[in-house]
Structure 1
C-alpha cells in the first residue's frame, strides 16, 4: 500500500483522505490491483477507525471482500482486534461480509463464536441468518467451534437460534447445521460427549 495512503488511513481523517484523493485520483484504485493485499480498509478496521472504514466502504466496497496475505478480511481483523462496534457497522453496510471465508475457511461468524461475544454473534445472526450454515475447511460449523472452545453463552444463542429456525424451516436447518459432521464425522453433540461436557449437551 502507498505510504501516503497508509498514513492517512492510520490518522483516521476522512478530510485528509479526500485531500489525498484530490492530489492522486487513482490512489484507491492502485490499492485494489492485487487479488490478495492489505488494503486501507484492513488498516482502518484493525485500528478501530470507524469513520475512515465506513468512508472506504463507500468509496471502494471491493476492499471489504479482499483477504490480506495472512488470509483475513477487514471484518476478520476488526473482530480479532476487538473492534466490535466497527465490525457491526461493516456488517450493517454489507451483511454478506459475515460469510467471507478466510484462512482455514474461517468466517467472521466463526471468529465471533470462537472468541466469544454474545451480542455481536446475535447481531450477525439477525443480519445474516444463513451464516450459521457455513463450515470451515475441517467441516466445522459455529456450533462445533463453540463446543471446542467452551463458549457456552454463545452455544446457547446458537441453539436458541436453531430452535427458532427449526420451528420456521423444520428439518432443513437441523440437517444442515445441527447434524452437520466435520471431517472426522463428528457433530457438535459428538464433540461435547467426547469432552464429557454436560453443559454443552443439555
Structure 2
C-alpha cells in the first residue's frame, strides 16, 4: 500500500505513512465485516468532506449509544467466530492426525533456527534421521534420541517429525535392454 502511495517519490514514505494507516484502518475487514476504525471508535471515520460532529449530551442518547455499541460488539464476535470456524475447517480439511509411540523411527525436518551449523548449502538434506522416539510429552511434542553432536534440544514439535519409511530391501537392477526400451519410447 505504501509503495502505491509514494510512487515516484520513495523518499517521502514517512510523510505518507499517516495516510496509509488511515486507509488501512478504514478498510472493511473480511472476518469482522467492519473496519478497525469503526470497531475501536464505534463509528466510521470522518473524512475531510464531512462536517464536524458535535456531541450531544443526553441520557437517552447515552443509553442508545451503549445499546448500539454492545450490539455491534456482539455482531463482531459472532462474525469472528464464524470466520474462525471456516478457517479451521479449511485448515483441517487435509490434515491427518499423527501419533508416534516410543521406539518408532522418525525423520526430523531441518530448520535454520534449530540447526544453524548444519545449513551450509541449498543442497543439504532437508530431513535428518532416522531417530527413535523416546517418549511423548503431549500430543504435540516428542523427545527423540538425538545424538549429542547436534547441540540442540531433543524435544521436537510434531510438525517437524515425519514417519521414517525404510528403503526397500530388494535390490534394484536396471539392465541395458530395459533402459534402451524406455529411451526408444517402448512401454
Interval of TM-score (by shorter of Structure 1 and Structure 2): under 0.3
| Higher-Rg member (1/2) | 2
TM-score, normalising length from structure 2?
0.24
